[in-house]
A and B are shown apart, each in its own frame.
Chain A
Amino acid sequence: MIRPDAKVLLEVKGLCAKVGGVEILKGIDLTVRAGEVHAVMGPNGSGKSTFAKALAGHPSYEVTGGSVAFDGRDLFALAPEERARRGLFLGFQYPVEIPGVSNSAFLRLAYNTMQAARGKDELDPLEFDDFARGKMKLLDMDPGFLDRSVNDGFSGGEKKRNEILQMALLEPRLAILDETDSGLDIDALRVVAGGINHLHGPGDAVVLVTHYQRMLNYIVPDYVHVMGGGRIVRTGGKDLAFELESRGYDWVRAAA
């Protein structure tokens, strides 16, 4: 939902970033207001995931220029965990496996950390179990997920659901979802997209990083940005995604 008078949550200006000494982002500008859904699209290697990880603060991604304000604060002055506590959420393309750590313990620690940061009450294991089960229904997840180790032995689709479950539990102000649709079959995609729609409200914003248009059939973006060569080369409405689907990305490479 576009409301020009809504609060600016994310203001990216001229962002440049390096990975392993190679400059990947070469000046990104993006403004995200509360209530909006943005889709960031582009061919492989255009810098979409780098953009997402640089915002979340991955240590391998070195910011070399530009500025990012998150909720009016200098994002890069905050440690990655501090960004999360202030409501920035990254849904991972490849969530890492953590053998031996139970999903329920991990989710509860994350939830309680967030609650503490917001000055709210923490939940004990029993209360949290009830709370988490409620959220899992929304994503059509088996409660058995809670007893397994974090992402350990999960299928690709299960990992993505677990990411969105975390989004549901942590209620971020800005959710950056990196290729959440990849690895999902059509039924799972519908469920996950339904969950994201359900979680999204007028006070928060979602940035969908995706290669394909198909997820946008379920989550309608207010803006579609096309990345190429480390920059946003074109911005449009939801129709731009359809255009990309029919034209492919070759023209982007040419434009970049």
Chain B
Amino acid sequence: MSSVLENLVNQPYRHGFVTDIESDTAPKGLNEDIIRFISAKKNEPEWLLEFRLQAFRHWLTMAEPKWPNVKYPKIDFQDIIYYSAPKPKKLASMDEVDPELLRTFEKLGVPMNERAKLAGVAVDVIFDSVSVATTYKQKLAEVGIIFCSISEAVREHPELVRKYLGTVVPPGDNYYAALNSAVFTDGSFCFIPRGVKCPMELSTYFRINTESSGQFERTLIVAEEGASVSYLEGCTAPKFDTNQLHAAVVELVALDNAEIKYSTVQNWYAGDENGLGGIYNFVTKRGLCKGVNSKISWTQVETGSAITWKYPSCVLLGDNSIGEFYSVALTNHHQQADTGTKMVHIGRNTRSRIISKGISAGQSNNSYRGLVKIVPRAENARNYSQCDSMLIGSKCGANTFPYIQVQNPGATVEHEATTSRIGEEQLFYFASRGIGAEEAVSMIINGFCRDVFQQLPMEFAVEATKLLGLKLEGSVG
């Protein structure tokens, strides 16, 4: 153990910290007492505390990954507050909201009554989110679907959480997953029982208390035999957060003949035009196609965060299971993205499909990193990957790092990659038909992303289209 780690481990009572169960906020720093404090605050069962502690002990032995193609100053993990009682930010009225945010809502066409909620204004009077959520909850309960915060699930359905938590992303999987496992404070839980087709798109948007889900979010979705669900995470409206580091974990489990579709639109604060501020988004997302004929499909539109480090993956364990990854990652100004997927073929006749579209503008850097792994027992596996990059301007960068490991000679693996640039000639062609540069870029980008947008639920697709236009505003010319 290095001396730095030793120091960390050996100073549990720094700043004279005493576990005070009445306090709303833990002091800065991370040690086993802090973790006990978090667990106690949440009245967690012993096994979950043990889960956290094991993750923490493992984390201490790990090193921050250096392989992503991103640069950022060293994070001081002892300078972070890991627990703070949920306190939804409340502004008294819309007059207090940042005008820039309001302008963005306007452009995105966010309905009037939702703007207040998104901006963090006290909404009890003007927006009945609670009643909307309650209505949804009742409807879901009728068919036996559980959709709640993970804290609530730990209290109400501990046997389910215990059965699946950490089975897809083990606590020691990687540096940030271990950190998350040790300190996660909330997130979503979703359980679709055998044979149930979820009658609506499930969205965190309609879950109560989303404001408090926090910095280390934990999501677990389980679809039992023959069940199916489409889950939407995030929204197109910009999300501001004072926490710079975000390390979420998402686990999906699909049993026999089950299907999970997980869609994300991520638009977190990306920092200003000079690269100051912005969220570090270090996420571990993984789906396990555990049963035969199961299917997991990831669709993501990543437009925000200063740094995105994210590889939604599929482990294709069940025979005939299918994994899909559709991604649009847009970076502008000084944003950095290192994102892609992993498809691990284990079962027979497993199939995977990867469609990745990277768009770089400004001085940003956008990398696709993907792994397709076919293990020896994966007979007759097939993969198709397509990784396209588009550059806007001459100061940005795009990279593709595909890793292909085939250990079964019967596999079919295809990889295609293209790089294009929105150039002067294309823009002049549009101009000569009366079409201005911004509209031209929007049309080219939407054409470029069409294969991915088609996978999004209808309303999301429309919003995503507008969002890309908005994010690129002023980057051409």
**Binary interface encoding of chain A residues 165-192 relative to chain B, with 1 for a CB under 8 A from any of its CBs, else 0:** 0100010000000000000000000000
- Which one of A89, A100, A101, A106 contacts B432 once the chains associate, using CB atoms below 8 Å? A89
Size class of the A contact interface (CB-based, 8 Å): 20 to 34
Size class of the B contact interface (CB-based, 8 Å): 20 to 34
Per the bound structure, the CA–CA distance linking A145 and B467 in Å amounts to 30
Query: Which residues of the partner chain A approach B446 to less than 8 Å between Cβ atoms?
Result: 101
Per the bound structure, the CA–CA distance linking A113 and B433 in Å amounts to 8
**Binary interface encoding of chain B residues 447-460 relative to chain A, with 1 for a CB under 8 A from any of its CBs, else 0:** 11010000000000
Query: Which residues of the partner chain B approach A9 to less than 8 Å between Cβ atoms?
Result: none
**With A58-B428, A59-B424, A59-B428 known to touch, is A98 a contact of B447 (CB < 8 Å)?**
yes
Q: Which of B432, B435, B436, B443 has the most A CB atoms < 10 Å from its CB?
A: B432
CB distance from A176 to the nearest CB of B (A): 10
On whether the beta carbons of B447 and A102 are closer than 8 Å, the reply is: yes
Which residue of A has the minimal Cβ distance to B428? A58
Whether a CB of chain B sits under 8 angstroms from the CB of A92 is yes
- Which one of B430, B432, B443, B444 contacts A90 once the chains associate, using CB atoms below 8 Å? B432
CB distance from A83 to the nearest CB of B (A): 8
**With A98-B429, A100-B450 known to touch, is A85 a contact of B434 (CB < 8 Å)?**
yes
Which residue of B has the minimal Cβ distance to A85? B434
Whether a CB of chain A sits under 8 angstroms from the CB of B420 is yes
Which residue of B has the minimal Cβ distance to A56? B432
CB distance from B427 to the nearest CB of A (A): 8
Whether a CB of chain B sits under 8 angstroms from the CB of A219 is no
Whether a CB of chain A sits under 8 angstroms from the CB of B426 is yes
Whether a CB of chain B sits under 8 angstroms from the CB of A123 is no
CB distance from A135 to the nearest CB of B (A): 15
On whether the beta carbons of A84 and B444 are closer than 8 Å, the reply is: no
Query: Which residues of the partner chain A approach B64 to less than 8 Å between Cβ atoms?
Result: none
Query: Which residues of the partner chain A approach B424 to less than 8 Å between Cβ atoms?
Result: 59-60
Query: Which residues of the partner chain B approach A99 to less than 8 Å between Cβ atoms?
Result: 420, 447-448
Interface residues of B in 90-112 (CB under 8 A from A): none
- Which one of A100, A105, A166 contacts B433 once the chains associate, using CB atoms below 8 Å? A166
On whether the beta carbons of A101 and B428 are closer than 8 Å, the reply is: no
Whether a CB of chain A sits under 8 angstroms from the CB of B431 is yes
Whether a CB of chain A sits under 8 angstroms from the CB of B439 is yes
**With A58-B428, A80-B428, A96-B425 known to touch, is A110 a contact of B433 (CB < 8 Å)?**
yes
Q: Which of A57, A113, A117 has the most B CB atoms < 10 Å from its CB?
A: A113
**With A59-B428, A92-B429 known to touch, is A109 a contact of B435 (CB < 8 Å)?**
yes
On whether the beta carbons of A113 and B429 are closer than 8 Å, the reply is: no
Which residue of A has the minimal Cβ distance to B439? A109
Query: Which residues of the partner chain A approach B430 to less than 8 Å between Cβ atoms?
Result: 81
Per the bound structure, the CA–CA distance linking A57 and B428 in Å amounts to 8
Query: Which residues of the partner chain B approach A113 to less than 8 Å between Cβ atoms?
Result: 433-435
Interface residues of A in 86-141 (CB under 8 A from B): 89-90, 92, 95-96, 98-102, 105-106, 109-110, 113-114, 117
Chain B contact residues, majority secondary structure: helix
Interface residues of B in 118-151 (CB under 8 A from A): none
Whether a CB of chain B sits under 8 angstroms from the CB of A30 is no
Whether a CB of chain B sits under 8 angstroms from the CB of A67 is no
Query: Which residues of the partner chain B approach A58 to less than 8 Å between Cβ atoms?
Result: 428
On whether the beta carbons of B432 and A109 are closer than 8 Å, the reply is: no
On whether the beta carbons of A80 and B431 are closer than 8 Å, the reply is: yes
Per the bound structure, the CA–CA distance linking A92 and B433 in Å amounts to 11
Query: Which residues of the partner chain B approach A213 to less than 8 Å between Cβ atoms?
Result: none
Per the bound structure, the CA–CA distance linking A101 and B446 in Å amounts to 8
**With A60-B424, A98-B426, A99-B420 known to touch, is A84 a contact of B447 (CB < 8 Å)?**
no
Which residue of A has the minimal Cβ distance to B426? A96
Per the bound structure, the CA–CA distance linking A85 and B430 in Å amounts to 12
**With A60-B424, A98-B426, A99-B420 known to touch, is A84 a contact of B443 (CB < 8 Å)?**
no
On whether the beta carbons of B443 and A109 are closer than 8 Å, the reply is: yes
Which residue of B has the minimal Cβ distance to A82? B434
CB distance from B420 to the nearest CB of A (A): 7
Query: Which residues of the partner chain B approach A79 to less than 8 Å between Cβ atoms?
Result: 431, 436
Interface residues of B in 407-443 (CB under 8 A from A): 420, 424-426, 428-436, 439, 443
Per the bound structure, the CA–CA distance linking A161 and B309 in Å amounts to 47
Whether a CB of chain B sits under 8 angstroms from the CB of A149 is yes
Query: Which residues of the partner chain B approach A56 to less than 8 Å between Cβ atoms?
Result: 428, 432
On whether the beta carbons of B435 and A100 are closer than 8 Å, the reply is: no
CB distance from A175 to the nearest CB of B (A): 11
Which residue of A has the minimal Cβ distance to B425? A96
On whether the beta carbons of B428 and A100 are closer than 8 Å, the reply is: no
Interface residues of A in 58-89 (CB under 8 A from B): 58-60, 79-81, 84-85, 89
On whether the beta carbons of B435 and A110 are closer than 8 Å, the reply is: yes
Query: Which residues of the partner chain A approach B447 to less than 8 Å between Cβ atoms?
Result: 98-102, 105, 149
Query: Which residues of the partner chain B approach A110 to less than 8 Å between Cβ atoms?
Result: 433-435
Per the bound structure, the CA–CA distance linking A80 and B426 in Å amounts to 13
- Show 21 A/B contacts (Cβ-Cβ < 8 Å), sorted by A: A56-B428, A60-B424, A81-B431, A81-B436, A84-B432, A85-B434, A96-B425, A96-B426, A96-B429, A98-B429, A99-B447, A100-B447, A100-B448, A101-B444, A101-B447, A105-B447, A109-B435, A113-B433, A113-B435, A114-B434, A117-B434
Given contacts A80-B432, A100-B448, A106-B443, 8 further A-B contacts (CB under 8 A): A79-B436, A85-B434, A89-B432, A98-B447, A101-B443, A109-B435, A109-B443, A170-B434
9 smallest CB-CB distances across A and B, nearest first, come from A100-B447, A101-B447, A110-B433, A80-B431, A84-B434, A113-B434, A81-B431, A85-B434, A96-B425
